Structure formats: C-alpha cells, structure tokens
Structure 1
Amino acid sequence: MQHTLDITKERCPMTMVKVKLKLSQINDGDVLDVLLSEGEPLESVPRTAEEQGYRVEDIRKDGAFYHVVIRK
C-alpha cells in the first residue's frame, strides 16, 4: 500500500519527526511517498531513513518540490 506525507512547510528537526511518526503507523512493506523541499530536508530525510533501516526507492523532482519514496 502507498501512503503520502507532505512536509513542505516543515523545518528540521520536525521533518524527520513527522516521517518517523508516519512510518510507525504503516505496515512493513508499505511505501511512504514524502513530498519535501530542497535543502536540508532533502539531505536529511533520505539519509536518516536509510540509517534507520528503511529503503529509499526513489528521489525525484516535481516542480519546486521533491518526492522521496521510502519502503518500510
């Protein structure tokens, strides 16, 4: 199942807090599509997700924002 999370209005450290909270609410094997801004969130969210054992499957630009697809 795919879930989405828009953190474009959030700033660190709240970006990863919200991602971790959402990941804790979804099932193993599900995908979380995170919409985020360029800069610090784009650097920290994929890195931290992988450090915590999740798989970053895709990072792609969508207009002014980015999608980071994480599999739990």
Structure 2
Amino acid sequence: MTFVRVRLALDRLPPGAILDVLLKGDEPLRNVPRTAAEQGHQVVSQAELPGGVTRLVLRRKG
C-alpha cells in the first residue's frame, strides 16, 4: 500500500522532480526503492533517521 501512495505522488510531479518520502518498517523499505527503480525512477538517496524511519529521495523519470 505504501508504494501505491508513493506512485500517486510521483505521478503528480513533473518529469525530473524530486519526491522526499519517509518510510517506516521493513516491508516498505524493501519494496518502495526496488519498485520505484523498476518503474524507471531514480533513487537519489536513502538515509536512516532516528526512530526507525528511513528518508528516501526519489527523482521522477523523464
């Protein structure tokens, strides 16, 4: 479900735009970066934050 929300957010952005995503939990951390890359988006960075949160920065394809 998390990637569905990320995908909808990416779809609203112009090509090349940046999306900053906060993820919590193992499943979103495994699935969101992988699925985004499979769909042609670029994973710009991924960083662990306090409290078990991961900050993922994606660039929309295009």
TM-score, with length taken from structure 1: 0.79
Report the residue type matching 2:12 in the other structure.
Q
Name the CA distance, whole Å, in 2 between partners of 1:69 and 1:38: 17
Matched, 1:17 2:7: no
Unaligned runs of 5+ in 2: none
- Stretches (4+) displaced over 3 A: none
Determine what percentage of the aligned residue pairs are the same residue.
Answer: 44
Q: Which has a greater percent of helix?
A: 2
For the aligned residue pairs, the C-alpha RMSD in angstroms reads: 0.7
Q: Alignment length, in residue pairs?
A: 59
Report the residue type matching 2:5 in the other structure.
K
Counterpart of 2:57 in structure 1 is 69
Task: Specify which structure has the bigger relative contact order, considering alpha-carbon pairs within 8 angstroms and separated by 6 or more residues.
Answer: 2
TM-score, with length taken from structure 2: 0.91
